[in-house]
Structure 1
Amino acid sequence: MIFISLYQKVHHNYTKITKTKAITQPIKTFDSHLIVEGNYYYWLDSYSMADFILITGDKAMFNPTFGQAIVTVRPGDLIGTGKEKINQKLVCVDGDEKKVIVPGCPYMTPQYSIPGMGMLSIESLAGNQKAKKTKSGGKPVLLKGASFKAKFQVMVPAQQPSAPSPIPDATPQYSGTGTFITMNIKVKGT
């Protein structure tokens, strides 16, 4: 979605006639700021890609590779705390991603081949996963976006086979990535 100011050409001068307009259909651009649509000229104010808003029940899908650790991942459920609803489900807002926790995930590494156990969570969102303009209850809504940074926290260390006793993995946590899958295929935010 592109946000623009609308100008009308009157006697070779441009006169601003509305504050802003959102255009979602294809447009003709003559340079990086001037847009022509019929008899109207638009000046580009800002550009923001719209993306689907996350809602209660959407999934955080974790990639299984966390550095050296290979994790048997399961999806995490998002629970929205926004004020608005999409598909009769509350929208997710800034901070809701911190409540996604997936405990009891087995893992191992090439060195520590006796499986251990840990917990998955979202460490931080990508810049395109938090809306800049669309808010619910005063907080930015969460967007599908690209990949988030994920964290795997070791609860029971994997072990390296050794005699007389196995050697535990000393790494307390591993970093990885993940993406969101949403059931909302209609409503977008920016």
Structure 2
Amino acid sequence: MSKYIVVDGDQVIFSPTFTPAIAIGGLKTKINGTGHAQISGKSICIDGDEKQVKLQNIKYTSGSFTTPGDCYLTIESLNYDQVANHVFSKKKVIIVGSSFTAKLTVTKPAQMPNPPNTTDPASVYMGSGTFSSTNNFVKAN
């Protein structure tokens, strides 16, 4: 089944759930396309462009650590159905597909209200996210 090709400026939407952590706030950013080919004047996104996506200054909580901590979100890996197998632009092309694996990296641990100074021991949580493409013309599979 063909899916739309992701292009420069398309939205990256992170799910708030990074079990047991929850990311708080606007969980959207954009991906920069570096492919040579263009769709409607925008560069296509190619395999590897997802590694440059980083959503910073995000708050999170986790379980009983209800005083928010700070983190950033990145794309850990694409799902098999998010890379076109039959379209190449030196590298494979990213398509909308299902959901990618996302990573929440803690920069300031969330805390428990009681006892004071008890901080979240985890430094990383895994979750997911999706792409939303402005391209509604060109598909690939």
| TM-score bin (small chain) | over 0.9
Paired residues in the alignment total 140
Conserved 8 A contact 2:15-2:27? no
| 1:50 corresponding residue in structure 2 | 2
Residue in 2 that maps onto 1:120: 73
State the shift of 1:55 in Å.
0.2
- Is 1:133–2:86 an aligned residue pair? yes
Contact 2:16 2:27 (8 Å CA) reproduced: no
Segments of 5+ residues of structure 2 without an aligned counterpart are none
In the TM superposition, what is the alpha-carbon distance from 1:161 to its structure 2 partner?
A: 1.5
Deviation for aligned residue 1:82: 0.3
The aligned residue for residue 157 of structure 1 is 109
Structure 2 length normalisation: TM-score? 0.96
Shift of 1:88: 0.5
Inter-partner Cα distance in structure 2 for 1:182 and 1:124: 18
Verify: 1:109 aligned to 2:68, yes or no. Answer: no
> Which amino acid is 1:122 matched to?
I
Describe the superposition over 1:129-165 as per-residue Cα deviations: whole angstroms up to 9, x where unpaired.
Answer: 01111011x10000000011100000000001224x3
Query: TM-score, normalization: structure 1?
Result: 0.72
Superposition CA RMSD, Å: 0.9
* Correspondences of 1:43-82 after superposition (within 5 Å): 49-72=1-24, 73-82=26-35
> Which structure has the higher relative contact order (CA within 8 Å, separation 6+)?
2
Which ranges of structure 1 fall in alignment gaps of 5 or more residues? Answer: 1-48
Q: In the aligned structure 2, how far is the partner of 1:117 from the partner of 1:57?
A: 25
Q: What SS class does the counterpart of residue 97 from structure 1 fall into?
A: helix
CA distance in 1, matches of 2:104, 2:62: 13
